Amino acid sequence: MALSTILLFMPASFALNMEPGLNKLLWIAIGTYAVFGKVLRHWFSRPAMRQLFNRICAGFLGSAGIGLLLARRA
């Protein structure tokens, strides 16, 4: 899975014609994204972990909304 994700984005990397340092950073980001996807696929296969993830995300979104409301009034 990780290899197929990297191969999917390979043509875009060559077409961008970026500086060598940025190209390496792009490959590191794509590879990291692919590895995390592979690991999280097994993590989310358990219903308890999905529920925990959803609660954490709901907490982040709720706190961001409250922060925006308070920043608007200040």
Query: In terms of pTM, does the model score above 0.85?
Result: no
Q: Measured between alpha carbons, how far is 31 from 51 in angstroms, rounded to an integer?
A: 27
- Contact between 9 and 37 under an 8 Å Cβ cutoff? The reply is no
Neighbours of 13 (CB within 10 A): 15
> What is the model's pLDDT at position 72?
72
* Per-domain residue ranges of the chain: 1-43, 46-74
The whole-number pLDDT of residue 59 equals 97
Per-residue confidence in pLDDT tens, the chain, 74 aa: 555 655 565 655 555 555 666 778 888 888 899 898 888 888 889 999 999 999 999 999 999 999 999 997 65
So what's the pLDDT on residue 23?
78
